[in-house]
Structures are given as structure tokens and as C-alpha cells.
Structure 1
Amino acid sequence: MKKLIFIALAVIILGALGFQLYRKIGKKPGAERQQNQPPVAVVAAPVERVVLQDIGEFSGSLSPNAQFVVSPKLGGKLEKLHVDVGDTVDKDDLIAELEDEEAAQQVEQAKAELEVARASLEDSQNTLLLAEREHERVKALHEKQIASDAELDRIEAERRAAGARSRVSLAQIKQKEAALRAAEVRLSYTKIRATWNRGEGSRLIGERFADEGALLKPNDPIVSVLDIDTLTAVVQVIERDYPRVYEGQRAIVTSDLFPDREFEAIVASVSPILKEYARQAEVRVEVRNPGRILKPGMFVRVQIEYARKEGVQAIPVDALIQRNGERGVFFIDEDQQHARFIPVKVGLIHGGRAEILEPQLSGMVVTLGQHLLQNGSPITLSGESGGVQPQNPGDTGSGAKSPGGASR
């Protein structure tokens, strides 16, 4: 029994000595490694105050702001076409002329019929005047009992008939005047003009559908007229972004044909309906087209600005890293020899920059090489790093407030 107790005590003592020796041997090289670890070469960039935008990016095609087809109201031979594709036209410019011999003849005939009606009116009015005078004479004789009742009745009947013929002639005058106006309108229809109600600027001939000498029917197309001073880009917005788009919203349009130019635009209309099969809504964006360099049918990219923040704290997106389930950055200490991992709360991300909501930082963050770092690792800055920003007077020695925001 004593032997077993002795053996147990010996095992316990040896175990304790071994554990202490293990701690001593294991700790010493680790500490030496922490102190003797070679610095990691990293690239860093400063925390900046910038303007950030939350932008939705879409693609679509351009269409004219206004487009219509010029057509004749009458059928006939196309005698003269005054414009061609690409020509500029103003409001009420003459586009084409139809053969007008028949219409002109109808005008002349209507004028002649009007003259006949006027002559007939003059004759009926003279007859009415004579009938009224005769009626007055017979009436006076009847009062003197010289004229009989039958003769007075006959004269009164003739007077009423003359009055009726005069009214008929007057109505015929109005009828013939209306016929003349109709004939003149038909004649004017042989002169085909470009007319529109909205806008006073010039427009372009987009297409030509007929040639001189062609026999046209009413409403046959001759040319199309386009308004491209302002174009319309039609894009499809998904359900998630739909509540963020509204009329009057600012937008920017770019084209592969003009990669260095941005065209100002504005959201003109938002469809109240989302298509069931795609869960998308149609949004129309009006694009200013200075110099008319953009053309209908071009493929364009549309950026709609959802939100805009000025003076926000931002860092390069490349500085963000995930460690132990947290999103953060490696912040460089004042001595520029060590980097510490700091969890951050991220806001807007755009144009390669990320908004840092929490904590407030001032200094440099690692943008390249952070995957080789641990908290407190020694570092050396490469020549590609940006300059160090001065520390804010109220900041701690690390240049950052305590990280209190949750990462996302």
C-alpha cells in the first residue's frame, strides 16, 4: 500500500515538473518568434473624406423622344419630295406635294357654283321686293274696297312664296361657301407638311418610305420625323430596386461609342406595373443629346443615383478582410511598424471605396498583404503606399476609436 502511494506521488511530481518544463520550453521560442518575426511588406492607403454615391447600373437602348410618320390624307401621285434622310426640318415645313390638278379643278367648280348661288339669291331678293310692293298696293286698294278679298289673298301668297325662295337662295349660298372651303382644304392636302404640337425646335428625317412618282393611298407613309435633341433610354428595374427609383431622379448615361463622355439624364417615368414573369418594371430615362451625337437604337449604360453622401469616411475596398467571422481592416499604428485588426461597420460601397460608419479612423490601413498579418504583426510599408494622414487631436495613440459597430 505504501509502495502504491509512493508511486502515485512520484507520478504526480514528475507530471508537474514535466508540465512546467513544457511551458518554459514552448513559451520561450514563441515569444522569440513574436519578437524575431520578420516584418511583412504591405501596401497601405490613407483613410479619406470623400463623396460616395449609391448607384444602380442598368443597360438599355435609345429611342427618339418623339417620332411620327408623315402621310397624305388624300390618295394621289407623289409629284415632288422635298426632303431626304438626315435632313433637318422645322415645324410646318413642306415635305412633299401630290398631284393637284383634280383638287384645283374642284376648287374652281365650287367657286363657280357659289357665284351661281349668289346670282340666284339676288334674283329671289328682287322678286321678294316686288312682291312686297305689290302686296302693299293691293292691301291699300282692299282697304278702299277697290280690290277683292281673293286678289289680296293671291298677292299675300305670292309674297310668302317669294320670301321662301329668298331664304332658299340664302341657304344655298352657305352651302356653296362650305363646299368651296372643303375643296380648298382638299387642295391644301396635296401640300404635305411636317406638323407637331410639342416643342418648337428642328427635327430630323429618319426614314424615307416613298419615291417621287409613286401612287399613294391615304395614310401611306412617306417619311418619318424624329426628335433626337432629347432621347429616351428604356431600362428594366428589378423588384428589389423598384422602390428606390422615382420621377425626377438624376442619372448618367454612357455609351461604348463615346467611352470618355457622360450624358446628363433624368428619370422621366416609372411604370406602375411589374411584369409577372420577370418581376421587373419599365423605367424611361430622358437623355440630353448635345450635338445630336447619340442616335436612336444605340446600346447605352444607365446609372441612376439612389443616394449621395458627402464628406464620408472611406477606405479602399481592398482593405476590407474577414477574420474570425468579423469584417474589418488592419490599421497601421503611429510607429508605422505594426498593424492591428479592427472590426468595422461598412456603409455604401462604390467606385472601389467603402464607407466606414464605425469606428472613426484617421491614418493608414493595409490594402495589400493583409492576408499574411495577425493582430500586432510587424510590417514594412512599400513604396506604393500613400502618405500618412495626421492624427486627429482627440484620437487614441492607434488613430482609431474603440470599434463598437457590428460588421456586415
Structure 2
Amino acid sequence: MGKNKPSNKKIFWWVGGIFVLLIGGGLILRVTGVIGQNTGEIEVETATAKLKTITQLVSSSGRIQPEVEVIIRPDVSGEIIELSVKEGDFVKKGDLLVRIKPDIFQARIDELNAALLTQKARLEQTRASLIQAESAFRKNKELYDKDLISELEFTQIKSEYESQKASLKASEYQVESAQAQLRRAKEELDQTVIRAPQDGTVTGLDVEAGERVLGNTQMAGTEMMRISLLDKMEVLVEVNENDIVNVNLADTARIEVDAYPERRFNGIVTEIANSARTTGAGTNEQITNYQVKVRIVTPHNLAMSGTELRRTETSENVSESFAPNFKPGMSATVDVETETAVNVTSVPIQAVTIRDFSKDKASKEEGESASESADVLVVKEDIRKVVFVVENGKAVRKEVETGISDNSHIQILSGIDTGDEVVIGSYRTLSKTLNDGDAVKVSDQQIIALAH
């Protein structure tokens, strides 16, 4: 008996230690809220619906390009003997750009001048023959009328006269043809000198003096350079088919250019394409876009408009005097303001979710026909937009009608009022967990009020 006493004492201490640990762990779990505080409430984040001005945006990315860009191609082929500009030069309408070697065209003019003189000489010779034939015709007609010559002889003389008249006409046409060829040759000679068709900046130069270029006779000639109006730039973007219906001519736009990350520029929609640009046709990745041109109305590239830029910059007016220098091909993002609603009831976009009301209907009908368990209830989906409003500690589901939205907020046309506390999170809670009538607890860290 005496040998068992130490063993029982050891067991007692082990049991006591385990009991103390259990009590301590329970207190810790209770303090941290893991146990003992489960009231069935769902923790949610809320925001207050308030009046706000919402501007619906259609966003897209694209490239900056000149509104007007003229591609210079030669009308005649030949060697460039003079190149009067370099890339970046500003030119006035009529300024000399390129001169093509004119020797072959000058030789052609000399040749055609000689041919024209030959045709004129033949014309005079034919005219003299006609005068002679006309005189013979008249004399023999008098003799024929007096029956002094035979009809056959008179017919031959008449035919000769008519033939000379036709020859004169042919000679006149040959002279006109030679003159036309000469005019064409002179025009080709003039085309060896290429001048600027408009004011602008040389934005691309693809040739050098001494190169040979092809004219536009039978195909597109050599592209020599481009002249652009850099003080009138636009952004070319592609808008998805789902958004293009909201974009209209003259819509205001805000433009962000990658080269100027801290600034936004004003724009206006000037052109909307009617034909679509489709990529991945016939596949699951098919995309249909429409090109939209947005003119940059903020003054820009003032030093490239052909006039001196006279401006004084001080610490008071630096931002006002700032004028960006855009270059063709720069990346830009455009936000087109398609519609604005002023002072309307708004909530964060994430507050609006969807629920299938057919499930409620199915549950109700299932309860009413519990005795007829063999029947199968078939109910069509009834998807509606809803917002959960916190009232007396419960989430009340309210069906809403929405209007336009911006990047963060959505307009509520009906269903809730300004001042209602709406549930905005978490996402999982809103999309799956939360139901009408659930008890909720508002998170102390997420109570958001929308500013005007």
C-alpha cells in the first residue's frame, strides 16, 4: 500500500495541470471572441447612400496622331538631285521640297516640239491641197452642169475634193494630239519640282538626295515624306461594341498621355467609325471594336505651328502657360464622358448585387404543396438587382433600379433613399452568404459616407 501513494500523487498533479490549461485556453478563446460570443450575426461593411454627381465614362487606349497628315509621293520617276528639307522642319505651302532630275523630261519636250512643228507643216500642206481641189471641183461643176464633162469624171473630181477636206481634218487632229502630248510633257517636267501642298512639319523623311524614286503612273509611288499639322493632334482609339452605343459626336473627353503622367488634357469626339474592326473572327476570342477619333483641344505644340511662341513663365502662371509637345505615336488613354447625372442618389458599385427571386417563389410553393411530394416544381430564373439595407440590426433586401455609373459609384433610380445605410462588403458575404432578414454587425473599421 505504501508503494502506491507516490504514484497517485503524480497522477493528481498531471490531472490538475491539464485542468488548469483547459481553463486558461478557454479564457483566452473567450476573450478573443472565438467562443462564447457567437450571436449569429454576420459582420458587414456599410456605406451611406447620398447625393452625388455621376459621370458615365467610356475608357479606351490608343495613339496620338496628326489630324491632317499628307503623304508626299512623286508623280514622275527619276533621281533626286535636290532635297531641301530634313525631318522636323516646318514648311510653308509652296516651299520647295524635292527636285527630280529633269533631263529626260526636257529632252521629251524638245522631241515633241519638233513633232508639233512637223504636224503643223503637214497641216499647211494639206490646206493648200484642199484649196486646189476645191478650185477644180467648182470649175468642173460648171462644166458638168452644162453637160460638157461626163458624170464619171465629175464624180472623181468631187471625191478628190472630199478626200482633201478629210485630210485637213486629220491634220488638224494630229496637230491637237501633238500639242496635248507637249502639254503633258511640260506637266511632267513641272512635276520634277515638288513643293509643299500645305503648311506643316516634316514628320517623316524616307529618302536621300541621289536616290531614285518611282512615280504614280501605274502604282503607288515611293513615299518620300509626310507633312503634318502638329498643332492639331488627335487620339485614335478603339471602343468595344458594347460601349460604342454610348459614345456620340461632340462628347467631352479627358486624355491622359503616358509622356505627361501628372497631367490631364481636354478632348472632344470628332469622328466615330461605322465599320467594325474584328479580330479573332470565328473563335471564342473574337473582339469587335470601332475606331473613334478624339481631338485634343488643349493648346499644344505651339512651337510647331510656324509662329514664334512668346510667353513669360513665372511662379504664378507656370501651369497656365504650360503647353505640351505631343509627337505622333505617343500612347494615350481617353475617358469619354458620355452622360452626367447631377445630384442623384448613389451608392458604391459593390453595394448592388443580384438575387434569384425564383428561389423564394419555389420555396413558398414547395411549402404549400408539401403533401404532393411527387410533383416536381419547375420555376424559371427571376434575376433582379438588389441592395441590402441595414435596419434595426438586420439586413433588409430591397430591389433597386439602377442608372448610369462611373468608376466607383452607381446611380439608384428607385428602391432606396438618400441616407440609407447599405451593405458594401465583404464581396463573399454580399454575393453568396447574406440573405433577407439576416442579423448583421457593422464593422467598426468600415463605415463609409459618400461625399457630394
CA–CA separation in structure 2 for the residues paired with 1:270 and 1:141: 80
Aligned to 2:39: none
Give distance in 2, aligned partners of 1:185 and 1:360. 77
Alignment deviations for residues 232-256 of structure 1 (CA, whole Å, 9 cap, x no partner): 423352x6x3574455373432213
Q: 1:349 to 1:136 in 2, by over 3 A?
A: closer
1:50 & 1:385 partners in 2: Cα distance? 11
Residue 73 (structure 2) aligns with: 71
- Alignment deviations for residues 309-343 of structure 1 (CA, whole Å, 9 cap, x no partner): 2220236779x699xxx855679xxxxxx999876
Q: Unpaired segments of 5 or more residues in structure 1?
A: 1-43, 196-200, 332-337, 368-373, 390-408
- Match for 2:263: what amino acid? D
Whether 1:298 and 2:295 are equivalent positions in the alignment is no
Structure 2 counterpart of 1:103: 105
Residue of structure 2 in register with 1:265 after alignment:
268
**Change in CA separation of 1:284 and 1:227 when aligned onto 2, cut-off 3 Å:** farther
- Aligned-pair distance for 1:117? 1.9
What amino acid does structure 1 have at the position aligned with 2:114? A
Question: Residues 143 and 279 from structure 1, CA distance in 2 versus in 1: closer, same or farther, beyond 3 angstroms?
Answer: closer
1:135 equivalent among 134, 137, 143: 137
Task: State the AA in 2 paired with 1:183.
Answer: A
* Matching of residues 3-402 of structure 1 within 5 Å: 48-65=50-67, 67-89=69-91, 94-144=96-146, 152=154, 155-193=157-195, 202-218=199-215, 219-226=221-228, 229-235=232-238, 237=240, 241-242=242-243, 244-248=245-249, 250=251, 251-258=253-260, 259-266=262-269, 268-269=272-273, 271-272=275-276, 274-275=278-279, 276=281, 277=283, 278-290=285-297, 291-292=300-301, 293-314=325-346, 327-328=387-388, 345=400, 347=402, 348-350=404-406, 352-356=408-412, 357-362=414-419
Following superposition, the deviation at residue 193 of structure 1 comes to 4.2
Cα displacement (A) at 1:76 = 1.1
Asked whether the equivalents of residues 144 and 151 of structure 2 are also in contact (C-alpha less than 8 Å), the reply is yes
Q: Secondary structure at the match of 1:359?
A: coil
Aligned to 1:41: none
Matched residue type, 2:223: P
Deviation at 1:209, TM superposition (A): 0.9
TM (normalized to structure 2)? 0.57
Secondary structure in structure 2 of the residue aligned to 1:184: helix
**Kept after mapping to 1: 8 A contact 2:49/2:422:** yes
Q: Distance in 1 between matches of 2:243 and 2:205?
A: 40
Contact 1:62 1:296 (C-alpha < 8 Å) held by counterparts: yes
Q: Which runs of 5+ in 2 are unaligned?
A: 1-45, 216-220, 302-324, 354-385, 425-438
Q: Secondary structure at the match of 2:141?
A: helix
Q: Secondary structure at the match of 2:328?
A: coil
Compute the displacement of 1:270 (Å).
5.3
1:268 shift after superposition = 1.4
Return the alpha-carbon distance in structure 2 between the equivalents of residues 247 and 321 of structure 1. Answer: 28
Alpha-carbon deviation of 1:208? 0.6
Question: Which has the larger share of strand?
Answer: 1
Write the letter of the residue equivalent to 2:236. A
Distance 1:114 1:343 in 2: 96
C-alpha distance in structure 2 between counterparts of 1:321 and 1:132, whole Å: 103
CA RMSD of aligned residues (A): 4.5
What percent of counterpart residues are identical? 20
Distance in 2 (CA, whole Å) between partners of 1:273 and 1:223 is 28
Q: Which amino acid aligns with 1:298?
A: M
Hey, what's the Cα distance between the residues in 1 that align with 2:405 and 2:144?
111
Q: Report the residue type matching 1:280 in the other structure.
A: I
Q: Distance in 2 between matches of 1:83 and 1:155?
A: 69
Equivalenced residue count is 325
Residue-by-residue CA offset, 1:201-260 (whole Å, 9 max, x unaligned):
7443221111122222332221123455242423352x6x35744553734322132332
8 Å CA contact retained: 1:57, 1:304: yes
Residue 69 of structure 1 and its aligned partner are, at CA, apart by 3.1
The CA deviation string for residues 24-54 of structure 1, in whole angstroms up to 9 with x for no partner, is xxxxxxxxxxxxxxxxxxxx99864332023
Please name the residue that 2:318 is paired with: none
For 1:160 and 1:321, how far apart are their aligned partners in 2?
97
Is this contact kept in 1: 2:58–2:243, CA < 8 A? no
Does the 8 A contact of 2:58 with 2:247 survive in 1? no
